[in-house]
Structures are given as C-alpha cells and as structure tokens.
Amino acid sequence: MAKHATPLLDQLESGPWPSFVADIKEEADRRRKNEKNVTYQIPSDVCDDLLGVLELSYTDGTTHWKHGGIVGVFGYGGGVIGRYCDQPQMFPGVAHFHTMRVNQPAGKYYKTDYLRQLCDIWDMRGSGLTNMHGATGDIVLLGTTTPQLEEIFFELTHNMNTDLGGSGSNLRTPAACLGESRCEWACYDTQEMSYQLTMEYQDELHRPAFPYKFKFKFDGCPNCCVASIARSDMAFIGTWKDNIGIDQEAVAAYIGGELKPNGGAHADKDWGAFDIQKEVIDLCPTECMWIEDGKLKINDRECTRCMHCINVMPRALRIGNDRGLSILVGAKAPILDGAQMGSLLVPFIKAEEPYDEIKEVIESIWDWWMEEGKNRERLGELIKRQGLAKCIEVVGLKPVPQHVLEPRHNPYIFWKEEDVTGGWQRDIAEFRKHHQR
Amino acid sequence: MADPKDIVVEFMQSKAKSKSKFYFNDLAALFPEMKMREAKKIINKLVTDGVLVYWSSGSTTMYGLPGAGKQAGAEGED
C-alpha cells in the first residue's frame, strides 16, 4: 500500500513509454517488503516519500528541494551534492536526499558482480535509485543521508577500487568512448588516456579551485560518440594525418550490393539499391571524392574527417595510419550566451604515453583560465571574451589556417612590438630621407 | 609571510556581516605573489585542517568558515 496518494504522478505511467514513476514505485514496494532482509541505513520509506514530495510539487507548481550544501567526504570538495527537502516533517524519508557522483569505468565497461556490489551498497546505504549515467558520464547515486556519505565513500574506495567523481568548480569526471577495445576507428587509446589523465589530475578532480566546471572528454574518432566536441571544455578527438585507406574490391562489392552499407543498419525498410554517388560522393562536405575508371578516388588534402564515407562503407574505407588527436576547447551548454561547440586549438598531436605534450597544453590553459576567468565563467566564455588568438598565444602555439573559422570580419590586426622588425623604435633621420614632413 | 590561516580567517571575518561564502578567486587574491595553483594548495590545506569548509551547489564550489551562514545550522550539519 502506497504511503502517499499520487494521482498526478500516476498519469505519467499511462503513456506507452517506460516511466520513472513506475520504477520508483517498484523500488518503494521492494523496500516495504524487504524480502532480502537488507539492514537499511536510511529510512526505508525514502522512495515513498520521494513520490510524495514530487506529487506535492506537481500540486503546488513549485519545488520542495533545497539544493546545495556543505556536505561531502573528508578532504573532497566534489562528488557529493547536498539536497534537502523543505517539508521534512511531511516527508521525513527524504529530509536529506544527497546525490553522490561516482567515477564510471573508462568506456563504461562493467562486470555484473561489480554492478551487484554497487547496488548492494546503495540498497543498504541509499535510496536504491540510480541514474546510469549522468550527463557527464558518472554513475549517479540518488538520495542518501549525511551519516552515510563517509561509509559509502569507504566502501567504494576500499572494496570497489573506484572513487567519487567531480562536481562543483572541479575537473569533472573524464569520459571516454570505448575506443580501441571495440572500435576499428579509434585513432588512439581513449580509455588509457582517460585513465592516465584522471590519475594525474586527482587534485583538480577532488579539490575545487577553478572558476567553474571543467570537462575533459575523449573520442577516438570524429564520430564523437561521447559528444566531446559539444559537451567538453577540452575535447580530445582522434584523427589521422595521412590518407584514408581504400579497398577497391570492397568498394565494388558495396556498389554491386554484395556488402550492405552502414554495416546493415537501416535494414528495417527497403531503401532500394545502394547508390554510391547519391549516398556517399554527393554527401561529402568538401566534395573531395569521385569515381574514375570504376575506382573510388579521394583527394585527402581536402578531407575534413567527417567520417560519413567510412561509416557507410566500413569494409572498403579505413582511417589513416598516422594517427593522433585534435584538441578542441570551449564547448558548453547554453546557460550563458548560448551553447557553444569546441574551437580547434591543436590540429594534430600524437597521443602517446606519458602524454607530456598534451599535459602542457592542458596546464597552460588552466593557468590562463584560473588567472583570467571570472567566477562562474566557462573556458568557452573566456575565449569568446578575450579571443581565440589569446588562447592560442597562452598555449604557445602559432596561429595556423585551421584556427580560422571564416574570413575575418574585424579588419584590425594589433601587432606587438616583438613581432615587428626593429620594434617601435626607428631612425627618424633615415625615415625623413624618404618621407617629407 | 604571515600565516595563511590568519590571512584568510581575518579576511572572511572582516566580510562576515555581508558574506558567509567566498569564491576561490576571492581567497587566491589574498596571495597575489602566488600562482593560482599554488594558492590552491594552501587554501585546500585549510579545508583539510578544518579552518574552512566547502559549500557546493553542485555546479559551483565556494569556501566558508565552519558554521558561518544560515545553512549549516538549518540543516543540522554543524
């Protein structure tokens, strides 16, 4: 029997789609019955009260959560987000309902016993409700009380060999695509790099001192499966310098229909025979492909690594062999000034351990942002405020054509004294020989 | 140099009437001769020593003296 009547929430279960309300009710029921005899360390009616406070919010049209707080685990400034109900007498089960962020494994590989262990901890010490995964990529554990935080932290770190993730003005939990473990298009080992940089920058992850959040994401190729170009302050996107490999026999097999395009995806409908001209060549954004004497040709100098041709004909086309990554900076969500995609900072860099060159880029960006960034200013906003040219300068790079998005609309170039031969000084007598007053 | 603890505590107490939470930048500015990442070590050490506490909204983190402001008392966390 439900603790609270929830007629408004019940409506959310009436659609054809899965409902979080049904899930929470299921967990509330499970906790009520407690068939596994779990020694619950937080109120067993936490899920009932969660439904109750949500119903009240629907009725009132306002939230009953107080967000944020001083709660955390010792020595860490991130990983726990305090949340309190502003009607604790009515809903004591959710008087404290803190969120914990847990660092997900690179590429999100789990063993079932790991997930069981995680769920057992959370059933006993939390609400049993999780979000797999949060937008940044963490395992999100929803709802526990303050006394349980250190207990959960101990179990995660000592028994599960994992750690809390980032929150607040921290480096957020880095996220990687599954990379070389499963994908033939990975241009570098994304999981390894995510792991190594996570270990290197533990202090930045757990002890906040940035102006605002900062996200790393690692994509093995420009397909960007973890959306690094759109969702990380610093995106590491795999790329290559040489040519796309072409297997002309396989190209012919795609044209002849022996091989299915897109690895057989879109098989739910008859889309007709594969048309390489229409479906690949004409869709190339830089028009760098053509058929000559029955063979596919690519002008690789013009290729911008959109990946479309490789995605459509994976047996025929391969990423190049001289592989590394591009670094893009400044992507962010639209809270201020609209959403921004990342801007290219480093066109190509090798991704080899110990990643020293890459760390130099990261740390020079952080030094600049920490000095110049305003409170709650994302890196992308600082770049917009001071200009990409400044960002390029602080990293110690020379501007290259790849940094140019479009022909400039500002006609002024501000030279610096060191850029001009002879500086600002000149021999006025010599000048007057050629120029009258 | 004076004890960083004294510098930070004195600064926070001088502002206590109007503010209970401070951005990292406010505190780093008390150590102008230091690089930000060095100032960070000092300020975080003060948290470990219990001189300061973190306050986090989830997206932004601020620093305060333990028990300062309304929240700690209101939520039974002090």
Q: Residue A15 pLDDT > 60, yes or no?
A: yes
Q: Residue B1 pLDDT > 70, yes or no?
A: no
* Phi, then psi, of A254 in degrees rounded to 5: -65, -45
Asked if A270 has any chain B CB less than 8 Å from its own CB, the reply is no
Q: Tell which CATH architecture fits domain A175-240+324-417.
A: 2-Layer Sandwich (3.30)
Q: How many Cβ contacts (< 8 angstroms) between chains A and B?
A: 94
| Average pLDDT rounded to a whole number, residues A392-416 | 86
Query: Please, are residues A142 and A129 in contact by the beta-carbon 8 Å criterion?
Result: yes
CATH code given to domain A245-318: 3.30.70.20
Report the C-alpha gap between A113 and A381 in whole angstroms.
43
Asked if B37 has any chain A CB less than 8 Å from its own CB, the reply is yes
Confidence of residue B2 (pLDDT cuts 50, 70, 90): confident
B25: domain CATH number is 1.10.10.10
Asked if A68 has any chain B CB less than 8 Å from its own CB, the reply is yes
Which of A39, A20, A19, A27 lies closest to A2 in space, CA to CA?
Answer: A27
Q: Residue A30 pLDDT > 90, yes or no?
A: yes
Contacts of A217 (CB under 8 A, 6+ apart): A137, A174, A175, A176, A226, A227, A228, A231, A232, A234, A235, A236
The DSSP H or E segment spanning B62 is strand B61-64
Asked if A208 has any chain B CB less than 8 Å from its own CB, the reply is yes
Q: Report chain A's mean pLDDT, rounded to a whole number.
A: 95
Q: Residue A141 pLDDT > 60, yes or no?
A: yes
| Domain extent listing, chain A | 7-159, 175-240+324-417, 245-318
Q: Of A67-71, A194-198, A236-240, A275-279, which gets the smallest average pLDDT?
A: A67-71
Among candidates A69, A99, A370 on the partner chain, residue whose Cβ is nearest the Cβ of B75: A69
Query: Please, are residues A69 and B55 in contact by the beta-carbon 8 Å criterion?
Result: yes
The DSSP H or E segment spanning B48 is helix B36-48
Alpha carbon distances (Å) from A46 to A41, A149, B12, B15? 11, 16, 38, 40
Q: Percentage of chain A with pLDDT > 70?
A: 100
Q: What is the model's pLDDT at position A334?
A: 84
> Which has the higher per-residue pLDDT, A426 or A331?
A331
Q: What is the model's pLDDT at position B76?
A: 58
Contacts of A308 (CB under 8 A, 6+ apart): A280, A283, A284, A285
Q: How far is B21 from chain A (nearest CA, A)?
A: 11
Three-class SS of residue B74? Answer: helix
Does A245-318 match A7-159 at the fold level? yes
Q: What is the model's pLDDT at position A268?
A: 86
Q: What is the model's pLDDT at position B72?
A: 55
Report the C-alpha gap between A255 and A249 in whole angstroms.
10
Confidence of residue B71 (pLDDT cuts 50, 70, 90): low
Largest interatomic CA distance in chain A: 101
Which of A67, A61, A138 lies closest to A96 in space, CA to CA?
Answer: A67
Q: Residue A402 pLDDT > 70, yes or no?
A: yes
> What is the CATH T-level fold of the domain A7-159, as seen in this structure?
Alpha-Beta Plaits (3.30.70)
Express each pLDDT in A182-219 by its tens digit: 999 999 999 999 999 999 999 999 999 999 999 999 99
Residues of B in contact with A209 (CB under 8 A): 24, 28, 36-37, 39-40, 43-44
Express each pLDDT in B12-53 by its tens digit: 999 988 899 999 999 999 999 988 888 999 999 999 999 999
Among candidates A66, A80, A209 on the partner chain, residue whose Cβ is nearest the Cβ of B24: A209
Please indicate whether, in this complex, the C-beta atoms of A146 and B77 are within 8 angstroms of each other. yes
Report the C-alpha gap between A202 and A74 in whole angstroms.
15
Report the C-alpha gap between A276 and A313 in whole angstroms.
10
Query: Please, are residues A312 and A280 in contact by the beta-carbon 8 Å criterion?
Result: yes
Contacts of A203 (CB under 8 A, 6+ apart): B40, B44
DSSP-assigned beta bridge partners for residue A377: none
Three-class HEC string of chain A: CCCCCCHHHHHCCCCCCCCHHHHHHHHHHHHHHCCCCCCCCCCCCHHHHHHHHHHHHHHHCCCCEEECECCCCCCCCCCEECEEECCCCCCHHHCECCEEEECCCHHHCCCHHHHHHHHHHHHHHCCCEEEECCCCCCEEEECCCHHHHHHHHHHHHHHCCCCECCCCCCECCCEECCHHHCCCCCCCCHHHHHHHHHHHCHHHHHCCCCCCCECEEEECCCCCCCCHHHHCCEEEEEEECCCCEECHHHHHHHHHCCCCHHHHCCCCCCCCCCCHHHHCHHHCCCCCEEEECCEEEECHHHCCCCCHHHHHCCCCEECCCCEEEEEEECCECCCCCCCECCEEEEEEECCCCCCHHHHHHHHHHHHHHHHHCCCCCCHHHHHHHHCHHHHHHHHCCCCCHHHCCCCCCCCCCCCCHHHCCCCCCCCHHHHHHHCCC
Express each pLDDT in A250-268 by its tens digit: 999 999 999 999 999 988 8
Q: What is the model's pLDDT at position B77?
A: 56
The number of folded domains in chain B is 1
DSSP letter at B17?
Answer: T
Which residue range(s) make up the domain with B24?
4-74
Residues of B in contact with A366 (CB under 8 A): 37
Pairing verdict, β A216-219 and A175-176: parallel
Confidence of residue B75 (pLDDT cuts 50, 70, 90): low
Q: How far is B31 from chain A (nearest CA, A)?
A: 12
Residues of A in contact with B60 (CB under 8 A): 168-169, 212, 375-376
Query: Please, are residues A365 and A327 in contact by the beta-carbon 8 Å criterion?
Result: no
Residue in chain B lying closest to A80 (CA) = B58
Q: Percentage of chain A with pLDDT > 90?
A: 88
Report the C-alpha gap between A113 and A120 in whole angstroms.
10
Asked if A80 has any chain B CB less than 8 Å from its own CB, the reply is yes
Q: What is the model's pLDDT at position B70?
A: 66
Among candidates A69, A209, A211 on the partner chain, residue whose Cβ is nearest the Cβ of B71: A69
Q: How far is B54 from chain A (nearest CA, A)?
A: 6
Q: What is the model's pLDDT at position A378?
A: 96
Asked if B51 has any chain A CB less than 8 Å from its own CB, the reply is no
Q: What is the model's pLDDT at position B73?
A: 56
Q: Residue A6 pLDDT > 60, yes or no?
A: yes
Express each pLDDT in A340-367 by its tens digit: 999 999 999 999 999 999 999 999 999 9
